[in-house]
Chains A and B, each alone.
Chain A
Amino acid sequence: MSISLRSNHATSQHGSGMRARFHAAQTWISFALRLLLGGAWIYAGATKATHLSDSISAVFAFRLLPDEPARLIGAMLPFIEIAIGGLLIVGFSTRLSAVASSVLAAVFLIAIISAAARGLRIDCGCFGGGGDLAANQDTRYTIDIVRDSAMLAGSVFLACLPASRFALDNYDTSTRGSEELDG
């Protein structure tokens, strides 16, 4: 690896320098994204896992699923969020975890947009709470949609460029960490 890098450097010094710099910056960005996304999922999952009835209530409120699957998803989703968040934070199988994170964020985004489009007055239950709103409460669809879009964008970035600093993916038995950063 290091050998080929050096020879490239000799032929096109400028370009590879830029590339190296971008690569270095990107690994830090991906690292930051891992922490942010992972933290958000763990926080979201933990607040719901401790109030599973609220989580189920939130899934009911979207009126997208029959009762039984809605209950099941309401019960399992918080734990799945925590698991994906954990994988992202430690940087284990980052690309796959980021893909899962993207799928989850996309599903939430679709659910919220559909709720807004149908004129439902609900709390998305994204970070605990959830269910229909009382008469004097306002929906917060805009902020929910912006936040979910940001999470989706971050997850897609990470899925495309999963190489990052301080990731378990960088370590294995046969080679040393930094060499595997190109993931």
Chain B
Amino acid sequence: MAKSPKKKPKSAPKAEGTKPAKSPASTSSDVPKSPKRRSTMVAKEKIAEQRAAEKRRRLISRALIAVAVVAAAALVGYTVYRVQEISDLPNPQGKPPKSYSIPASSNGVDVSRTGITVGNQDAPVRVDLFLDYNCPHCKEFEEIVGKYLDSEVKADHIKLVHHPIAILSPYSVLASGAAGCAQDSGKFSAFQAELFKAQGKEFNDERLTKLGENAGLSSKEFKQCVDDRKYVDWTLGLNQDAFKHEIRGTPTIVVDGVSVSPSLAKVRSQINERLEKAGKQ
């Protein structure tokens, strides 16, 4: 609308509409005759300009309000973030530092940077389990195949290497770290059973401590270990090691270096096959 005043009369008929169209022939005599009309035209332009300015102002103020609404929403998110426990959730994809502590080996269970080994070290067959405590199919696997594997461990047929990796959720990391704490007290298996039983809700520190009590871990040391997240870096190390071995998901079951589909029949037949071969040697 910022036209120069000289151009105004020319564009006026088009822009302003009906009034000039009534007397189209009176162009020469029009100007001296009607100072009133001219002033009304100027007034109209002024009103139009005012309206445009008003509209602009309104647009800007609305945009500012909209920005404020979005900013307020972001602030709500930030506040929730500060208040809830989520502000220090571990990243499952995080990298562990070069040196970190690992759970203690005890009760005939051997712990390393890559896993927790249960059973006779000299057993003829090695079975590796890559499970995530938040993975529903891992829970199913434990329910169906777990007992069979335990019996094979007891029979000294296999040694079972647990890799409690954490790829599904930050809470998987906390759960796996807490399993390390349980291992410190020699109760890895009992605690793992509790974890799978309780799967579904978020494994926060408080809940993990409670699950520990269910597994008979009511010592101060266990609670302290969970609260300090002592073995979270160990879990991140397990993740990295699993990734290096191209473990791309859970559950992954490896029998003597061969990946097996997680059904009781497949796992059993593979283990029996390996046992036969070992027996023949």
Task: Give the B-binding residues of A (Cβ under 8 A).
Answer: 3-4, 6-7, 49, 52-54, 56-57, 60-61, 63, 67, 70-72, 74-80, 82-84, 86-87, 92-93, 96-97, 100, 121, 131-137, 169, 172, 174, 180
Given A4-B15, A60-B170, list of 13 further CB < 8 A pairs?
A4-B16, A56-B170, A60-B93, A79-B80, A83-B72, A83-B74, A87-B66, A92-B66, A121-B249, A132-B92, A135-B249, A136-B137, A169-B62
By the criterion CB–CB under 8 Å, are B249 and A76 in contact? no
- Pick from A53, A79, A87: contact of B169, CB under 8 Å: A53
By the criterion CB–CB under 8 Å, are A134 and B132 in contact? yes
Closest to B85 in A: A53
Distance A174 CA – B53 CA, assembled complex (angstroms): 12
Asked if B9 is at the interface of the complex by the 8 Å CB criterion, the answer is no
Q: How many Cβ-Cβ contacts under 8 Å join chain A to chain B?
A: 130
Distance A54 CA – B92 CA, assembled complex (angstroms): 12
Main secondary structure of the interface of B (DSSP, over half): helix
Closest to A168 in B: B62
Chain A positions within 8 Å of B93 at CB level: 60-61, 63
Chain B positions within 8 Å of A76 at CB level: 73-74, 77-78, 81
Chain B positions within 8 Å of A86 at CB level: 69
Asked if B2 is at the interface of the complex by the 8 Å CB criterion, the answer is no
- With an 8 Å Cβ cutoff, the count of chain B residues facing the other chain is 50
By the criterion CB–CB under 8 Å, are B81 and A133 in contact? no
A133 to chain B, nearest CB (A): 6
* Residues 59-111 (chain B) with a chain A CB within 8 angstroms: 59, 62-63, 65-67, 69-70, 72-74, 76-78, 80-81, 84, 86-87, 89, 91-94
Asked if B135 is at the interface of the complex by the 8 Å CB criterion, the answer is yes
By the criterion CB–CB under 8 Å, are A53 and B65 in contact? no
Asked if B168 is at the interface of the complex by the 8 Å CB criterion, the answer is yes
- Most chain A beta-carbon contacts within 10 A, residue among B63, B91, B167: B91
By the criterion CB–CB under 8 Å, are B87 and A71 in contact? yes
Can you spell out 22 A-B residue pairs with CB atoms less than 8 angstroms apart?
A52-B80, A53-B169, A56-B89, A57-B92, A60-B93, A61-B93, A72-B78, A75-B78, A75-B86, A79-B73, A83-B69, A92-B62, A93-B63, A121-B249, A132-B168, A134-B135, A134-B138, A134-B250, A134-B251, A135-B251, A174-B51, A174-B54
Closest to A135 in B: B249
By the criterion CB–CB under 8 Å, are A77 and B91 in contact? no
Chain A positions within 8 Å of B171 at CB level: 53
